[in-house]
Amino acid sequence: MEVENTDLKDFKLRPMKCECNFLSKSDGSAILSQGQTVALVSVNGPLDIKMTSQSIEKATLEVLFTSKVGKPSVADRYKEHVIRQTCESAILGSLYPRTGITVTIQELEDYGGFTVCSINCACLALLNAGVAMRHTFAGVACAVDEQGNIQLDPDAAQLETARATMNFVFDSREKRLITSLTNGSFSEDAYKEALERCRSASQLVFDFYKDIVSKYSYVIG
Amino acid sequence: MRDVFLSNCEKNFINKVVVEGHRLDGRTYDESRSLSISFGSDYGSCMVSLGETKVLANVSCEVVQPKQIRPNEGTIYINLEISPMAAPQFEANRQTEFSVYLNRLLEKCYKDSKCVDLESLCIVVEEKVWSLRVDIKVLNHDGNIIECASIATITALAHFRRPDVTRSGDSVIIHDITERDPIPTVLFHYPVCTTYAIFNNDVLLSDPNFLEEQVCTSFSEESDTAGGLLVIGVNQYKEVCVMNLTGAAIQGTNLLNKALSGAGDKCKEIVDMVKKAIVHDDTLRQKRTKINFSDVITQDHLLCLSKKDLSIKLKHYNIDDAVENDEMDEDESEPEPSKYDVVASVPQTAEIQTKKGASQWIEISSDSEED
């Protein structure tokens, strides 16, 4: 890894744009763009579900991921699984026993970092729906290029030349790692460095959440 | 989740209000909700909203073998999906009667009316043709999905461009979009479906919203002649492509004539709007403006936020430094080995290091004597 001076360096995330309550029929919804990547998420719940899928301990969380074009694929199911695990750690499901919460994700544009964008969007939609949560969660993506440099929030062009991509999701209270999703090969040091950088950068996303909620809620902010 | 049921109160109120010449949202009988079309970054992807009803349409293409009975024609496949995103009562990945009905109507309107020039989609006769696939996703269901979905379909089809193809001998080369300008799809005519809600067999409401749709298709106590929904698909030449009536039968031709002439005018208006939107989008693309669905996100109400300069100052985490520091810390504050700590004195071995000196065993003989 090339040695750089230890001065503070500027790291940028792509511009974020969000609209909550985008859909009128859902209990909560949000559309979020991070750069050119756009995701749309709707949340319904807690609602009445089939007896067979009810749990007496906590709410059953269902995540549906729909890609832009074509039939549903195995990759979609995998993404659903990752996002479900992430949301489940945050939602206080024990407050809504015998009910279901449905999170539906629609891909609109994918120009890199779609997983992270949909996770952030899901968090905003859950906030919008008023589902009780332990903490909010924010995802940050990064890529390791051929030289071993770590790029925060890479776009499509950077991803094409990347050796590895990493996605991290943190909770808002202690910035603990909730989800880590990596692709490609990298050294252990690179992983640690990327983790710490993303952890610091997640504060920007949490600030964004706080700003959007404090626009209409005077209690917060 | 179970279907949403209407209360008698709502039903009776809407029935009463409509007869008096009003509508719940203040529109006149033949007034539609506001239509807006926005395009995505790819060719053939668009989002259409009709009031609060929102639909996403995407056209994609692939090379397939043609059908045996039509060896020189491409194929078109239309697929409409309603996920729980549209409204909570819909279940995921399940075909309902409603979604099959909508799919069939769209198929009738676009496939059976032969509006797409399928012969132009042929590459090699009997071997290779283009297959167009239209994916329609209902994002929000606030009534009149069919009109919104049909506008989205025709917009996506008209906007779509397929990659250029050249033949050299037996092989076929598909050129990338960046390599050669893609080719637009040839459309003979532009059919658009419109919906009318029929109340009391004499009132026609154009573009009914969710509540009006529910009321006119449900039986009401006060009026014995139940209403229905009339879907008419007309192209810009005012030729009827599809007609579907659900609910009560129409008495007399008067109502139908009124609906047909109204639908013709409305479709022409919509087609003009669609064409204008596509031309506008095309000129923007010519100027190399980046068009993206992120433009859908407005900034004019309280629940919106946009942040441009998201930057953070971070230290360059030098892993080597960090490791050294850790080692230093360990050296400084290395704890005294307790009595039974396992410490290696020679590399790759472990042994129990005990404090030297006399044994500190407690004599238990005295205790036992006391007992």
Q: Do B140 and A25 touch (CB under 8 A)?
A: yes
Torsion angles phi and psi, residue B85, rounded to 5: -65, -35
Cβ contact (<8 Å) for A109 and B141?
no
Is residue B342 predicted with pLDDT exceeding 80?
no
Q: Does one domain contain both B200 and B79? A: yes
pLDDT in tens, B119-164: 999 999 999 999 999 999 999 999 999 999 999 999 999 999 999 9
Contact B294, A38 (CB under 8 A): yes
**Domain span at B354:** 337-370
Model pLDDT for residues B354-363, shown as the tens digit of each residue:
555 665 666 5
pLDDT digits (tens, 9 = 90+) for B57-101: 999 999 999 999 999 999 999 999 999 999 998 988 888 899 999
Q: Looking at residue A220, what is its pLDDT?
A: 65
Give the Å distances, CA to CA, from A168 to A125, A201, B128, B210.
Answer: 19, 11, 44, 41
The residue among B54, B55, B310 with the most chain A CBs within 10 A of its CB, best to mutate, is B310
Interface predicted TM-score (ipTM) of this complex, two decimals = 0.90
Class of domain A3-220: alpha beta
A1 and chain B in contact, CB less than 8 A: yes
Between the alpha carbon of residue A102 and those of residues A51, A94, A121, A159, B87, the distances in Å are 16, 16, 14, 31, 11
Note whether B186 and B296 are same-domain residues. Answer: yes
B238 and B93 both lie in a single domain: yes
Residue to mutate among A3, A17, A197, A209, with most B CBs inside 10 A, is A17
Tokens representing residue B266 in the block = 């409305």
Residue B110 CB neighbours (<10 A): 24
Residue B89 shares a structural domain with residue B133? yes
Q: Is A13 helix (H, G, I), strand (E, B) or coil?
A: strand
DSSP B74-102: -EEEEEEEE-TTT-TTSPTT---HHHHHH
pLDDT at B333: 42
The model's confidence at residue B8, banded by pLDDT at 50, 70 and 90, is confident
B103 and B227, same domain (yes or no): yes
B226: CATH: 3.30.230.70
Closest CA in chain B for residue A109: B293
pLDDT score recorded for residue A123: 96
| Same domain? B265 vs B343 | no
pLDDT digits (tens, 9 = 90+) for B275-284: 999 999 999 9
Total of domains in chain B = 2
Q: What is the pLDDT of residues B215-271, one digit of tens each?
A: 888 765 555 556 789 999 999 999 999 999 988 777 778 889 999 999 999 999 999
Which pLDDT score is estimated for B1? 59
Is B366 found in the same domain as B251? no
Asked whether residue B187 carries a pLDDT value surpassing 90, the answer given is yes
- Residue pair B109/B233 in contact (Cβ under 8 Å)? The answer is yes
Give domain limits for chain A: 3-220
Domain boundary residue among B304, B322, B345?
Answer: B304
Regarding whether B287 and B184 lie in a shared domain, the answer is yes
Orientation of helix B145-159 relative to helix B254-286, angle to 10°? 40
For residue B179, being part of any structural domain is answered with yes
pLDDT score recorded for residue A146: 86
What pTM was estimated for this model as a whole? Answer: 0.86
> B266 and B345 share a domain?
no
| Predicted pLDDT at B315 | 67
Q: Which residue has the higher pLDDT, B53 or A45?
A: B53
Tokens of A139: 């995802």
Which parts of chain A register pLDDT below 50?
1-5
- Tell me: do B52 and B113 sit in the same domain: yes
Q: Closest Cα to residue A70, out of B62, B108, B101, B296?
A: B62
Q: Do B297 and A13 touch (CB under 8 A)?
A: no
Asked, for residue B93, whether it belongs to a domain, the answer is: yes
pLDDT of residue B325: 40
